Amino acid sequence: MIFTNGGERPCDDRSMLVIYNPTAGRRRVSRLWTVLDVLVAHGVRLEVVETRHAGHAAELAREAAHDPDRLVVAAGGDGTIAEVAAGLQGGRARLGIIPLGTANVLAHELGLPMGAVGLAATLASERQRPLWPGIATSAAGDRLFVQMLGIGFDAHVVHHVSRMAKRALGKGAYVAQTLRELPRYGFEPIQLLIDGEAAEAGSVIVAKGSLYGGPYLLAPDARPDAPGFSVILFEQAGIGPALVAGAALPLNRLGRVPGAVHRRASEIVVRGTHALPAQADGDPAGTTPLRITDAGSPISVMVAR
């Protein structure tokens, strides 16, 4: 097998920077090394760097962002991908993905293969599409997200699930933590402005992509390659509605539970007197208040088709 860039030139004149999050990728580390072995066997020049602390992936990506011939590969979960994308924002380097996380939502969204040979072929090809991230601005600064941002109970669960549980149980860690947190969470109403229009909900998901929690459909109208957001307002709050939502997720019916309202928007402002938890791409993202807008420009991401 010979990898080429769309049949135009051999891939061995390309350089890839692989940014690997060893914390996110421990459960699937064999996938990473198999992908890299396939690339090296076909003449691709690789530089592999492990992240050492929060924000390191963005720093590494930022150093390579303005090289149009550079492919910067995020090897980790959705949070690692978002960090690398933040470093590439405004540059000319392209984004590649080796999904190693718990849910790998963006990889499912983009239709990336999960097998090593398919991933290597995707990274070595010239097939790419735009990915237009969102930016959440709070008192702590700007936070880029590539797939979705949640406010309310799902974010509360993300804030409390342990890294050790995710390593041991995978997605099951979120189920277990959800059951623990249900009687503890206050389900405060969320006050927000959607393109200047006031709204209220028990929980909110601001989506760039159509999927949530893995390969599960939430927002069919979402466009990850274009500006704007799909906003899902879950108007009903409490233990009962949260259990219904959890049961609906694997059935691809989360976006159709009673009280789920879908809106398109370009700006979302979350306000109110209570500081409510937020999560971005499955990682804690501080608390409200916050303002959500599009990033200034899209990023080119490698895809299989």
Domains of the chain by start residue, with CATH: 11-126 (3.40.50.10330), 135-294 (2.60.200.40)
Task: Report which secondary-structure segment, H or E, holds 138.
Answer: strand 134-138
> Please, which pLDDT band fits residue 169 given cuts at 50, 70 and 90?
confident
Contact 74, 95 (CB under 8 A): yes
Sign of CA dihedral 163, 62, 231, 138: positive
Does the pLDDT value for residue 4 go beyond 50? no
Q: What's the pLDDT tens digit per position in 229-248?
A: 999 999 999 999 999 999 99
C-alpha–C-alpha distance, residues 305 and 288, integer Å = 38
Instruction: List b or e across 192-202, with b for residues whose CB sees 16 or more CB atoms inside 10 angstroms.
Output: bebeeeebebb
Contact 99, 114 (CB under 8 A): yes
Residue 171, pLDDT score: 82
Beta bridge partners of 69: none
Question: What does the mean pLDDT of the chain come to?
Answer: 91
Does the pLDDT value for residue 2 go beyond 50? no
* Burial tier of 137 (Cβ tally within 10 Å: 0-12, 13-18, 19+): middle
Residue 164, pLDDT score: 83
Instruction: List b or e across 266-279, with b for residues whose CB sees 16 or more CB atoms inside 10 angstroms.
Output: eebbbeeeeebbbb
Does the pLDDT value for residue 140 go beyond 90? no
> Please, which pLDDT band fits residue 13 given cuts at 50, 70 and 90?
low
Q: What's the pLDDT tens digit per position in 148-160?
A: 999 999 999 999 9
Q: Specify the range with the lowest mean pLDDT, choosing from 5-9, 58-62, 115-119.
A: 5-9
> Please, which pLDDT band fits residue 1 given cuts at 50, 70 and 90?
very low
Kindly state the average pLDDT of the residues 63-81. Answer: 93
Residue 102, pLDDT score: 86
| Cβ neighbour number for residue 250 with a 10 Å cutoff | 13
| Cβ neighbour number for residue 88 with a 10 Å cutoff | 27
Helix 172-181 to helix 153-160 angle (10° resolution) is 110
Kindly state the average pLDDT of the residues 99-118. Answer: 94
Does the pLDDT value for residue 101 go beyond 80? yes
Contact 296, 90 (CB under 8 A): yes
Contact 45, 14 (CB under 8 A): yes
Beta bridge partners of 200: 191
Q: Specify the range with the lowest mean pLDDT, choosing from 8-12, 41-45, 70-74.
A: 8-12
The pTM assigned to this predicted structure is 0.90
